A and B are shown apart, each in its own frame.
Chain A
Amino acid sequence: MKWSPAGAATGVLSSSGSLFALALDIFRSLFRRPFQAREFIQQAWFLASVTILPTALVSIPFGAVIALQIGSLTRQLGAQSFAGAASVLAVLREASPIVTALLIAGAGGSAICADLGARKIREEIDAMEVLGINPVHRLVVPRVLASMLVAALLNGLVSVVGIAGGYFFNVVLQDGTPGAYLASFTMLAQLPDLYAAELKALVFGALAAVVAAHKGLTAQGGPKGVGDAVNQSVIITFMLLFVVNFVMTAVYFQLVPQRG
């Protein structure tokens, strides 16, 4: 068919419509019994195994870069005692949700999308529906929940590894004072920062899984179709997660009074 602006617009609208329809379906199926515990555990394990190592490896340089930037800035201003505080704040508030988002979309979402897409084009999904089993309830819901759980855990991992990386660079490489670094941890950051970051991670996990499931379940046109679906799912999830991250951060600043 020939490309036309009207056709492209309706295409975008109808696919976002079906994305929301799927999200609604998933939400309704969340409360349906029996809960697919086995599938949930398998998926959570699988997602954790594909994301843990890359997440840890990405968070070390992330924490280090922040430490480097802040370290030289604080030294110039004579505020070395704030180096730890600023580093914790940056990692906890921004770096960890962003790294979690990147990894859960890039590693987790693409795996979910490829898996469901391959099942779709092999007619496994159709076969399941014909056998009277709802694939949203049987396959998608456990994946969404697993992705949320793993995202929340990853967020914790990123925070710990990021801060540890920052500490190493600041104290060992830039000759910071260990005591001052540790003592200033809670000067700017506060507990609600962690809660907000975990909430963000849960939302990111859910979004990444929903988008991946939608793209996977609507894959068509053979193996190339699955490749395209994975590609689109990663791009769409990236864009969505960054927008949502911005909105959630803005809302957070309005709702929670800041220290300092």
Chain B
Amino acid sequence: MGVEICVEGLTKSFGSQVIWQDVSLTLPAGEISVMLGPSGTGKSVFLKTLVGLLRPDRGAINVAGRDITRLREHELYEVRRLFGVLFQDGALFGSMSLFDNIAFPLREHTRKPESEVRRIVLEKMDMVGLIGAEEKLPGEISGGMRKRAGLARALVLDPEIILFDEPDSGLDPVRVAYLNQLIVDLNAQTGATFLIVTHDIASARQVPDNIGLLFRRELVMFGPRKQLFASDEPVVEQFLGGRMQGPIGMAEEKDAAQVEQELAELDAGERRGPQGGKGATGAMGDTPRLLPGPGVPRSPRWEEIARREERSDRVVSGT
């Protein structure tokens, strides 16, 4: 089963530039959480801090009873085995074939015989739909395939926590849909804790249990999906609605007077400019949740979620 990650008062800066400060949140064990935020708000930095690749200035990250920020190097390598990370471009080893890439963690960490390694690797490759591409080099395949291979490699040691750095960037809408379904299925099968860093509102609407939003060097909000989509916090509303009007500007912040004016316009029900970028529908409100596919065994947690979804469906159709 998954492991809880508890982040307290985390602050990170590069030189004099503060990336984010005082971030506190708890990623509940076994649940899917999404971290949203405009580009350049340090979402990837947050992810790298969680696995101990970057050291924060202050704060604590508790995973399985240990504070990642205080571990010595060899202890850190031990704790990292709990994690599987999908990097933005897959981060495959360029000199190895896909098969060797995915087999790499098994060969380095376990003494499994080659036949067993082969069985596990092929199983994971089948899971992400890469059967037949075993001998290809990472340079010879598309970005989407690299991403899926990176995911297979992250899964191969059966991690308790899986982190995704923008799984949908550079993928077409169909592949994003498949990937979202895969994420939900994996969560139902493995029960691991998931954290997804993304811009894609459509995914954020359907996939997670919890959503967090980073903006202007802090965590604006973190909570259950429904709570964020029902929120009237201007930043949250603007980002989830994919609108131009609101506190977020092209260059991260707008000047205060303009924000004030735009918020007043919104209150008056006056909407201008394009909206609904990146899968945002422009409106708030609830969306049905993505459930594990047929044939995927559901844990009690997912049984519960499925029941709740069905109930809310009836309520909607009843009105």
Q: CB within 8 Å of B: which residues of A?
A: 1, 118-119, 122-124, 126-134, 138
With a cutoff of 8 Å between Cβ atoms, the chain A residues found around residue B81 in the complex are 132
Q: Which of the candidate stretches B84-92, B181-189, B220-228, B248-256 sits at the interface with the other chain? A: B84-92
Please measure, in the bound complex, the distance between the C-alpha atom of A134 and the C-alpha atom of B75, giving whole angstroms: 12
Q: In this assembly, does B318 line the interface, its C-beta being within 8 Å of a C-beta of chain A?
A: no
Given contacts A118-B94, A129-B77, A133-B108, 20 further A-B contacts (CB under 8 A): A1-B15, A119-B93, A122-B89, A123-B87, A123-B91, A124-B94, A127-B93, A128-B93, A129-B53, A129-B80, A130-B53, A130-B83, A131-B104, A131-B109, A131-B157, A132-B78, A133-B77, A133-B109, A134-B73, A134-B77
> Ordered nearest first, which 10 A-B pairs have the shortest CB separation?
A127-B91, A123-B91, A130-B85, A132-B81, A123-B87, A131-B105, A132-B80, A132-B77, A130-B51, A133-B108
Q: In this assembly, does B48 line the interface, its C-beta being within 8 Å of a C-beta of chain A?
A: yes
Beyond A119-B94, A122-B94, whether A132 also contacts B109 by CB under 8 A is yes
With a cutoff of 8 Å between Cβ atoms, the chain B residues found around residue A123 in the complex are 87-89, 91
Beyond A122-B89, A123-B87, A126-B48, whether A131 also contacts B94 by CB under 8 A is no
Please measure, in the bound complex, the distance between the C-alpha atom of A127 and the C-alpha atom of B149, giving whole angstroms: 13
Please measure, in the bound complex, the distance between the C-alpha atom of A138 and the C-alpha atom of B93, giving whole angstroms: 13
Please measure, in the bound complex, the distance between the C-alpha atom of A125 and the C-alpha atom of B70, giving whole angstroms: 22
* A187 CB, min distance to chain B CBs, angstroms: 51
For A122, give the chain B residue with the smallest CB separation: B91
For A118, give the chain B residue with the smallest CB separation: B94
Please measure, in the bound complex, the distance between the C-alpha atom of A74 and the C-alpha atom of B291, giving whole angstroms: 91
Contact B78 A126 (CB under 8 A): no
For B73, give the chain A residue with the smallest CB separation: A134
With a cutoff of 8 Å between Cβ atoms, the chain A residues found around residue B157 in the complex are 131
5 example contacts (A-B, Cβ-Cβ < 8 A) are as follows: A130-B80, A130-B85, A131-B104, A132-B80, A132-B81
Please measure, in the bound complex, the distance between the C-alpha atom of A123 and the C-alpha atom of B87, giving whole angstroms: 8
Please measure, in the bound complex, the distance between the C-alpha atom of A156 and the C-alpha atom of B94, giving whole angstroms: 34
For B109, give the chain A residue with the smallest CB separation: A132
Binary per-residue interface labels of chain B (76-120) against chain A in the complex, 1 for a CB within 8 Å, 0 otherwise: 011011010101110111100000000011001100000000000
**Interface residues of B, count at CB 8 A:** 25
Please measure, in the bound complex, the distance between the C-alpha atom of A131 and the C-alpha atom of B81, giving whole angstroms: 6
* A142 CB, min distance to chain B CBs, angstroms: 14
Contact B93 A124 (CB under 8 A): yes
Contact B48 A131 (CB under 8 A): no
* B49 CB, min distance to chain A CBs, angstroms: 12
Please measure, in the bound complex, the distance between the C-alpha atom of A91 and the C-alpha atom of B201, giving whole angstroms: 69
B15, B48, B77, most chain A CB atoms within 10 A: B77
For A125, give the chain B residue with the smallest CB separation: B91
Please measure, in the bound complex, the distance between the C-alpha atom of A118 and the C-alpha atom of B89, giving whole angstroms: 14
Contact B105 A132 (CB under 8 A): yes
Contact B87 A127 (CB under 8 A): yes
With a cutoff of 8 Å between Cβ atoms, the chain A residues found around residue B83 in the complex are 130
Please measure, in the bound complex, the distance between the C-alpha atom of A118 and the C-alpha atom of B139, giving whole angstroms: 13
With a cutoff of 8 Å between Cβ atoms, the chain A residues found around residue B80 in the complex are 129-132
With a cutoff of 8 Å between Cβ atoms, the chain B residues found around residue A124 in the complex are 91-94
Please measure, in the bound complex, the distance between the C-alpha atom of A119 and the C-alpha atom of B94, giving whole angstroms: 8
* B77 CB, min distance to chain A CBs, angstroms: 5
Please measure, in the bound complex, the distance between the C-alpha atom of A128 and the C-alpha atom of B87, giving whole angstroms: 11
* A221 CB, min distance to chain B CBs, angstroms: 13
Q: In residues 126-163 of chain B, which contact A (Cβ within 8 Å)?
A: 150, 153, 157
Please measure, in the bound complex, the distance between the C-alpha atom of A31 and the C-alpha atom of B311, giving whole angstroms: 62
Please measure, in the bound complex, the distance between the C-alpha atom of A132 and the C-alpha atom of B84, giving whole angstroms: 10
* B114 CB, min distance to chain A CBs, angstroms: 15
With a cutoff of 8 Å between Cβ atoms, the chain A residues found around residue B104 in the complex are 131
* A41 CB, min distance to chain B CBs, angstroms: 15
For A138, give the chain B residue with the smallest CB separation: B108
* A43 CB, min distance to chain B CBs, angstroms: 12
With a cutoff of 8 Å between Cβ atoms, the chain B residues found around residue A1 in the complex are 15
With a cutoff of 8 Å between Cβ atoms, the chain A residues found around residue B85 in the complex are 127, 130
B51, B88, B108, most chain A CB atoms within 10 A: B108
* B120 CB, min distance to chain A CBs, angstroms: 15
For A1, give the chain B residue with the smallest CB separation: B15
* B88 CB, min distance to chain A CBs, angstroms: 7
* B52 CB, min distance to chain A CBs, angstroms: 8
With a cutoff of 8 Å between Cβ atoms, the chain A residues found around residue B53 in the complex are 126, 129-130
Please measure, in the bound complex, the distance between the C-alpha atom of A126 and the C-alpha atom of B108, giving whole angstroms: 16
For B93, give the chain A residue with the smallest CB separation: A124
Please measure, in the bound complex, the distance between the C-alpha atom of A129 and the C-alpha atom of B51, giving whole angstroms: 9
* B217 CB, min distance to chain A CBs, angstroms: 19
With a cutoff of 8 Å between Cβ atoms, the chain B residues found around residue A122 in the complex are 89, 91, 94
Please measure, in the bound complex, the distance between the C-alpha atom of A20 and the C-alpha atom of B88, giving whole angstroms: 32
With a cutoff of 8 Å between Cβ atoms, the chain A residues found around residue B92 in the complex are 124, 127
For B80, give the chain A residue with the smallest CB separation: A132
With a cutoff of 8 Å between Cβ atoms, the chain B residues found around residue A133 in the complex are 77, 105, 108-109
For B16, give the chain A residue with the smallest CB separation: A1
With a cutoff of 8 Å between Cβ atoms, the chain A residues found around residue B94 in the complex are 118-119, 122, 124
For B165, give the chain A residue with the smallest CB separation: A123
A124, A132, A134, A138, most chain B CB atoms within 10 A: A132
Please measure, in the bound complex, the distance between the C-alpha atom of A197 and the C-alpha atom of B83, giving whole angstroms: 48
